Structure 1
Amino acid sequence: MEINTLTPEENFSKFSKILKKKINNGFTIVERNDKLPFAVLTKKHKKVNHNFNFLISCITFGLWSLPWFYMTCVSNKDKVILVALDEDGNPFEDKCFN
């Protein structure tokens, strides 16, 4: 049985690819350390147009108020994640809670 070990350069390349993917998805880097390698990324919440949602809620006789509530209170929070490589060079991602 062969054990495939990655060099530190390959590990860092894998780490950089993960960061590039997250940045393309709208995250920004808050803190980064290339020696350990880890990075803390954040994504700001989307702004909800309350005037438009109120109008849609009135047109649908209040049925739209449930998705509007969900967009405003539940899913509309800043996202903070930690992306790092463990001791074996495996990438992992962890959600951080404020």
Structure 2
Amino acid sequence: MKNIPLIKNENSKKLSRILAKKIKKGFVIEEVNDKLPFVVLSKKRARVNHNLNFWISCATFGLWSIPWMVQYYQSKKENKIIIAIDEDGMPFEEKCYS
């Protein structure tokens, strides 16, 4: 019975380490739940500089248009993930689909 607070403390340390890594990558905390240890993180959409991509496409005779389109479609999505601790104390990460 005395080990339960120690396990919770270790779980919160694991969760905070994972959160620190994600925040360094540009994610923002949207929701935190301490009772069921989970956090919802989101990463804003990247902006595409269409003027620059247009001129690069002109300079490469249209070859750059393929990476430009890939960049455009990837920037339309907003990344949302859930990071949580399961019953065994193992952290896991799951993408949110909306």
What TM-score comes out, normalization by structure 2 length?
A: 0.89
Structure 2 unaligned spans of 5+: none
- % identical aligned pairs: 57
Q: Distance in 1 between matches of 2:15 and 2:59?
A: 48
3-state SS of paired residue (1:7): helix
Counterpart for residue 86 of structure 2: 86
Letter in 1 for 2:55: L
Structure 1 unaligned spans of 5+: none
What does 1:1-98 correspond to in 2, within 5 Å? 7-73=7-73, 75-76=74-75, 77-98=77-98
| Aligned residues: CA RMSD | 1.4
Moved over 2 A (4+): none
Letter in 2 for 1:96: C
Higher-helix-fraction structure: 2
* Number of aligned residues: 93
1:21-59 Cα deviation digits (max 9, x unpaired) = 111110000100112100000001211000000001111
Q: Distance in 2 between matches of 1:35 and 1:20?
A: 20
